[in-house]
Amino acid sequence: MTTHTVRRRGGNRLVYLIGQLGPGGRERQLYTLLENLDRQRYNPAVIVWNHNPQDHWAARLAGLNIPVLSAAPRQKSLPLRLMALRRTVREMGAEILHSYSFYTNFYGWTVAQGTPAIPIGSFQSGYWAHRRAKGPFLGRLCSRYPRFQISNNRRAVEEAESSGSWFRPERMAIVPNGVRLDYFSASPLPDNEEPLIVGLGSLVAYKRWELLIVAAGELARRGLRFRLTIAGEGPERRRLQDSARREDVADRLDLPGMVNDVPTLLARCSFLVHTSDVEGLPNTVLEAMACGRAVVATDAGDLPYLIEDGTTGFVVPRGDIERLSERMAVLLADRQKAVEMGRAGRKKAEAEYGVNRLVSETLAAYREAGWRD
């Protein structure tokens, strides 16, 4: 094991096991949780299964004086890695071992055996999507163990409950994501001659950004003025550039890569569009709402619960380009509607998705699993 900060006295009561600390949604939520947790009282630590000290959130966590440890070297066999990890967890005095990545669920459960730690699992997006992605063996084991798991969205819990499979958690809790309302603050809608439409997220196939580009092509053919930015990195970049050329909107599209200053980007835009086929409760939509921006999104995951259709934005069926372009056209043509939807979104973010609720509901879930705070 290697650590980047010194462990404080009294043991690390809450220990988190996560796959990696790159720029992803679950990693952002772990940082948000730990940033707002009473760290003096709970003394949290993070163990990373595939640790890279250069990853986006590693230094940020260390900056909170939270120990960031690497699981045993990859060259060791899996049983040896798990044995070494069990020794470390026992030495840390962990009371909770929370696997924050689905594929580390079974590893976390195995490590907790023979220690006082209560194992907790996670599944952040679709239940079946997680299982299929990890294959018939590991997918089943991570769905079953630990027996208590936390999801960030009700749709995934409903999928698990109705699956009829023995390979599902015995007990589940729902803890929606939280957003920092001070950092993602509301700002006036810019009165740009060419409104800016923004998409935020990794450039991967299931995000379906090509649908946004096709819809943008339809809007351009209707003579609507706008710019389009899709911020994120991933293997679909070239495919999206090709799509923009086919739709004759390459001169309107910007692909800046990963953007660190998301609030500034959202402050410049008129509204956010989210086209994903698979979701849980996406941070980017929460962040846009907190910044006072309307959202046009697909009906994936908990987006139909998060977005009040017609009030804080629009929800469209997955893959429905015609409906997507229609809703985008409404917000481009009616600036006042975009303003009103953005205000309503900010109010909903304040009422339901603050970080204090994230912390309190996470600790409540640990108590439900049998932890004595």
Beta bridge partners of 229: 198, 254
Report the pLDDT value the prediction gives residue 6, as an integer from 0 to 100: 35
**In a 3-state reduction of DSSP, which class is residue 269?**
coil
Which residues of the chain form CATH 3.40.50.2000? 14-178+354-368, 196-352
Are 101 and 123 in contact, with CB atoms under 8 Å apart? no
- CA–CA separation, 152 vs 172, rounded Å? 11
- CA–CA separation, 307 vs 298, rounded Å? 10
Question: Which of these, 335, 344, 326, 274, lies nearest to 302 by C-alpha position?
Answer: 274
Question: Which of these, 205, 207, 198, 280, lies nearest to 29 by C-alpha position?
Answer: 280
Report the predicted TM-score, pTM, of the whole model to 2 decimal places: 0.91
Largest CA distance in the chain: 67
Distances (CA, A) of 230 to 68, 197, 207, 273: 32, 8, 11, 9
Report the pLDDT value the prediction gives residue 9, as an integer from 0 to 100: 44
- Tokens found for residue 266: 């959202």
Q: Which residues of the chain have pLDDT under 70?
A: 1-10, 74-75
Report the pLDDT value the prediction gives residue 5, as an integer from 0 to 100: 37
Are 339 and 271 in contact, with CB atoms under 8 Å apart? no
Cα dihedral sign for 25, 27, 28, 33? positive
Looking only at the bridges linking them, the beta strands covering 96-99 and 271-274 are unpaired
The tens digit of pLDDT for each residue in 218-236 reads 999 999 999 999 999 999 9
Report the pLDDT value the prediction gives residue 10, as an integer from 0 to 100: 57
CATH of 196-352, one of 3.20.20.70, 3.40.50.720, 3.40.50.2300, 3.40.50.2000: 3.40.50.2000
Report the pLDDT value the prediction gives residue 75, as an integer from 0 to 100: 66
What kind of fold does domain 14-178+354-368 have according to CATH?
Rossmann fold (3.40.50)
Report the pLDDT value the prediction gives residue 73, as an integer from 0 to 100: 74
Report the pLDDT value the prediction gives residue 87, as an integer from 0 to 100: 93
